[in-house]
Homo-oligomer: A and B are copies of this chain.
C-alpha cells in the first residue's frame, strides 16, 4: 500500500520547483499528453471533462444574457487580416499560414485564426443594414492557433480552445455596457465556480488588445505569486466598423457606424485551477467544476456485501444530484486514495465491512484531509453539505493567499525590492506614462496587470518617475 501510494505521488514538491510540479500534475493527473505536433497538446478525458464543465457553465450564463452561438471559418485570407492596422500588427507575426490546398499553391495565403475579429467584421458588414438588425450578440466555441515560441500545457500552447464573443451595437454606451457585463460574468464565474478570486480592471494602453479602444481584464494570482490574465473583454469603439465598413441606418434614416466588443476565456483556466488550488498530492478541483465530485472506495471489497453497499450508496448520491463514481478496480485502497488525491476529486468515501456494521462511512475532504464519519442514511445530505463547504473554503483560502501576497510600494526602491523578494501583486501609483511601464518591465520583468476598478490612493506620485500619479495599478510577474 505504501509502495502504491508512492508510485502515484512521485511528483516534484511545489516549494522545490513550481514549474516542474505543475508539469508533473498535468501529466500525473492525466489531464494531457504531449504530441508529435510541437506546442500542441492532446487533452485527455480527465482534462477535457473539466473543459466541458467550464463550457457548460459559461454557455448557460452567456445565453441568459442573450448570447447566440455561431460558427465562423477557421481560416482568414491575408487581405482580410490586414484590414485593421493595429490588429494585423499584433497578430501577423504569430499566425500559421496555409499556402497550399491539396496539390495546388493558393493564390492568396490564409492564416489559421488566432482570433476572429476580422471574420466577424466581414460577416457583420453584410448582415447589418438597419438599426433593427442590432444588437448582434454572437459567440463561438472553437480552437485558435498562435505560433508561440515557448509553450506550456494549458497556459500557453500554439493551439488552444476558447470561446470568443463578438458583438455589434448601435451606440458607444451599449457597447461599453456589454463589455463590462461580460467582464463581470467572467469574474462571477471564476469566483463562484472555479473558486478563483479575481481583480477586475482595465489594461493600460501598452497591454491592451491589438485594435481595441479599451481592454478590461480579470487577473488572478497563482500559488507561486505569479499573475494570470484570466479573461478579457474588449471595447473596440467604431475602429473595426470603420475599417470594415459596418454601417446601419438609424431611426432617422442616417448612416451610422456600429460599436463593437469582443471577449474570451480559454483552456488556460484549467492551468489556473491547477496553480491556484493544487498541492504536493496533485490537483484539487472545486466541487462545482469537478467532473467527479465524490469517489466511493470500497474497503476489503471482496467481502460479502461491500460492493452491494457501495452500489447502493452510489445510487443514493446520484439521486441527490452528486457526480459520483465507485472505484471497484482491483487496485489497492492506498493506490486508489492516492489516485483520487492526484486527480483532485473533492471527496472520497471509504466504506468497508466494519463501517457497514456500524452503519457509517468515512468521508475524506481532498482540500483539508479532514475525515468525517457519517451515518449512512444521512450520507447524500452530508456529502452535499461538505461539497458546499469545500467550494466556499477553497475560494476563501485562495482569497486569503492572494491578499497575503498583495503588497504596496510607494518608492521605486521598495517596489524593486518587493518584486524581487516577495512574489505576488504589488499595488503602486502610476503617472500614466508608458515609459514607466517599459522601465519597470526592463528592471524587474513585472508588467502592469490592470488599473483596478477599486482604486486606492497610496501616494501622490508615480512609483517609477515621481511625477504626479493618475492611477493605482496592480503590477506583477505574469504567466
On A, residues with C-beta under 8 Å from B are 33, 35-37, 40-45, 48-49, 51-52, 68-77, 80, 93-103, 109-110, 112, 119, 122-123, 126-127, 138, 142-143, 145, 147, 158-159, 161
Contacts and interface: CB of A to CB of B under 8 A. Distances in A.
B73 A42 contact: yes
A126 B33 contact: yes
Contacts of A127: 33
A425 to B, nearest CB: 32
B37 A110 contact: yes
A198 to B, nearest CB: 26
Nearest to A72: B42
Contact of A70 (B48, B76, B99): B48
A102 B94 contact: yes
Given A71-B143, A98-B99, A100-B109, 13 more contacts: A33-B126, A35-B119, A37-B77, A42-B70, A42-B72, A43-B72, A45-B70, A49-B69, A75-B96, A75-B145, A75-B159, A93-B103, A96-B101
Q: How many copies does the complex hold?
A: 2
Contacts of A40: 73-75
B94 A112 contact: no
Nearest to A143: B74
Contacts of A126: 33
Contacts of A44: 70
Contacts of A97: 98-101
A49 B98 CA distance: 30
A156 to B, nearest CB: 14
Contact of A43 (B41, B71, B74, B76): B71
A100 B99 contact: yes
A394 to B, nearest CB: 25
Contacts of A35: 72-73, 119, 122-123
A103 B94 CA distance: 8
Contacts of A95: 102
B45 A68 contact: yes
Contacts of A52: 69
Given A103-B93, A122-B36, A48 B69 contact: yes
A331 to B, nearest CB: 10
Contacts of A112: 74, 98, 112
A110 B42 CA distance: 16
Contact of A71 (B48, B68, B100, B123): B48
